[in-house]
Structure 1
Amino acid sequence: MEKIIQLQRKFAPELTQIIEARYNLLRHIQHTQPVGRRALATLLHMGERVVRAQVDWLKDAGLVEFSPLGMSVTAEGQAIMADLAEYIRLLRDLVGLEIELSRQLNLRKVIIIPGDSEIDRAVRRELGRATAGVLGQYLTDQMVVAVSGGSTMAKVAEAINFSFPATTVVPARGGLGEVVEYQANTIAAVMAGKLGGRYRMLHIPDGVNEETLEAILDGDTNLRAVAEMIKHADILVHGIGEAAEMAERRGVPPETFAKIERCGAVGEALGQYCALPGKIVHVTSSIGLRLDDLAGIGTVIAVAGGSAKAKAILAVVGAGGQDVLVTDEAAAKAIQLLIK
């Protein structure tokens, strides 16, 4: 396959461009179906005439079908998507970049999704789908899975299409006071529902002082049991955020964030703020996992994308404890430049 791609680049570069363009169209139809041509053109910032010509070709090839509601990907189109995705990864040399980053970051595995999730919603969905796939590879019976909150993690839960009824899903941390759909408790419940398993809730927000947390734990045996379950989870799936954005979401006082910023914090995960190359500079109090707990977790899967998150990813991964990173092409290339 690699030799064929090299020949195509040299002898017919326009062919690879056409394949990439049609793959991108097919991917967007898959994630927004049923969708009209005009809506698709607006989504892709393309002329409607150009989109019409390409989707007509996809229809003639039996990859999409039209209905009064809009276009949808056919069963044949769905089947070819996996092969096309692998072709695009090879075409952009993402396989080589995965190997390079896994070695440089000391990770078991790096998975890179083509594109930039900051500007393309289809890439965000692909991040969720890829992370769900990694989770499925590591899941076995009777496991406890801890999950963090956030919009990307919501996509992960949404993408699960397999069943592990004996699984228990727990939130990795307390709530942030953000939209309910993105809270760790909600994501744990959705994920458990998709898996056909059970879930346990953690009804306490982040940021409560240590003395209050101790008092709550002393008086609530159920909460203490959930906290212990979280600390000994078999798998953790979590997102990574930019320090400034997460401080705002967590309601960190301005004077505290100014101190964190002076320490060089660029990334945040599990309530801990990290500076490059991986120094933890601030910790928010919470019942749940922290980065220094990750050595006791069987498999840790981190997911984050977009070039703006490159420093955040590098800082959090540098703090240690991560096993698998699922990211996108834009973030991976930005991380590569930062390392160099």
Structure 2
Amino acid sequence: MEKIIQLQRKIAPELTQVIEARYNLLRHIQHTQPVGRRALAMMLDMGERVVRAQVDWLKTAGLVEFSQLGMTVTAEGQAMLGDLAEYIRLLHGLVTLETELVEKLNLKQVIIIPGDSEADSAVRRELGRAAAGVLNQHLGDNMTVAVSGGSTMAKVAEAISFSMPSTTVVPARGGLGEIVEYQANTIAAVIAGKLGGRYRLLHIPDGVSEETLEAILAGDAHLRTVADAIRHANILVHGIGEAVEMAERRGVPAETIAEIERRGAVGEALGQYCALPGKVVYVTSSIGLRLDDLAEIGTVIAVAGGSAKAKAILAVAGTGRQDVLVTDEAAAKAIQLLINNI
């Protein structure tokens, strides 16, 4: 396949451009179906006439169908998307880049989604779908899954399409002061609902003093049970954020944010702020998992994308004990550049 792609690039480079364009259209239709041509054109910032010509071709090929509600992808189109995704990955050199990052970041697996999740909502959904697929591969009977919060993790929850009724889902940390849909408790409940399993919630926000946390745990047997379940989770699925942005979302005081910046923090995961090449420089107190707890977790899956998060991903991965990274092309290539410049 790689040899064929190389030949196409030399002899008919316009062919690969057409394939990419039609793949992108098909992928967006899949994620927004049923969708009209005008709405699709606006979503992709393309001329409606160009979109009409391309989707008419896709219809003739039997990959999409039209109805009064809009366009939808046919069963043949769904199968074609899977094949095209692998072609695009080879075309962009992502298979080779995955192997390189596995070695450089000391991970077991790296999955790179073509595109930039910061600029394309379809790529954000693909990130969620890929992470959900990894979870499905590692999930077994009577397991406990810990999940963090955030918009990317909400996409993971949205993408769950399999069941495992014996699963217990718990939040990895206390709550953030953000919209309810992005809180770890909500995401844990949604994933448990999709799996047909159980969930246990943690109604303690991050940032509470260690003394207060100890007092709460001492007086609340239920909370101690939840905390124990979190620490002994079989699988952790978590996001990675930029340090300053996450500190602001957590309501960290301005003087503390300035100190976090002074210490060189660029990434955040599980309430811990990390500097390059992988040093924890500030910790938010909370009941739940920390990065140094991950040695006890069976499988750790990190999911994050966008070139702006490259330093954050590299810093968190550098702390060790991450097994699988699900990211996008923009972040992966930015990470590669950072590694080569260190």
TM-score category by the smaller chain? over 0.9
1:84 aligns with 2:76: no
Distance, in Å, in 1 between the alignment partners of 2:70 and 2:242 is 38
Q: SS of the residue aligned with 2:142?
A: coil
The one-character-per-residue Cα deviations of 1:274-312 (angstroms, maximum 9, x if unpaired) are 000001000000000000000110000000000000000
Letter of the 1:214 counterpart: E
Number of residues paired by the alignment? 340
Letter of the 1:228 counterpart: D
Question: Match of 2:262?
Answer: 262
Question: Match of 1:54?
Answer: 54
Distance, in Å, in 1 between the alignment partners of 2:208 and 2:161 is 36
Q: SS of the residue aligned with 1:266?
A: strand
What's the RMSD between the two structures over aligned residues? 0.5
Distance, in Å, in 1 between the alignment partners of 2:83 and 2:221 is 50
Question: Match of 1:183?
Answer: 183
**Structure 1 residues not aligned, in runs of 5+:** none
Q: Provide TM-score, normalisation by structure 1.
A: 0.99
Question: Match of 2:307?
Answer: 307
Q: SS of the residue aligned with 1:103?
A: helix
Distance, in Å, in 2 between the alignment partners of 1:79 and 1:99 is 26
Letter of the 1:318 counterpart: G
Question: Match of 2:39?
Answer: 39
Distance, in Å, in 2 between the alignment partners of 1:81 and 1:132 is 18
The one-character-per-residue Cα deviations of 1:189-245 (angstroms, maximum 9, x if unpaired) are 000011111100001111100011001000100100100010010000000000111
Deviation at 1:171, TM superposition (A): 0.2
Distance, in Å, in 2 between the alignment partners of 1:3 and 1:255 is 56
Q: Which runs of 4+ in 1 moved over 6 A?
A: none
Q: SS of the residue aligned with 1:170?
A: strand
Letter of the 1:56 counterpart: D
Distance, in Å, in 2 between the alignment partners of 1:4 and 1:132 is 31
Distance, in Å, in 1 between the alignment partners of 2:151 and 2:308 is 16
Percent of aligned pairs with the same amino acid: 84
Distance, in Å, in 2 between the alignment partners of 1:4 and 1:194 is 41
**Structure 2 residues not aligned, in runs of 5+:** none
Letter of the 2:160 counterpart: I
User: Mapping of 1:204-243 within 5 angstroms?
Assistant: 204-243=204-243
Distance, in Å, in 1 between the alignment partners of 2:312 and 2:177 is 22
Q: Provide TM-score, normalisation by structure 2.
A: 0.99
User: Mapping of 1:1-340 within 5 angstroms?
Assistant: 1-340=1-340
Distance, in Å, in 1 between the alignment partners of 2:264 and 2:310 is 15
Deviation at 1:112, TM superposition (A): 0.1
Q: SS of the residue aligned with 2:85?
A: helix
Deviation at 1:54, TM superposition (A): 0.2
Letter of the 1:314 counterpart: L
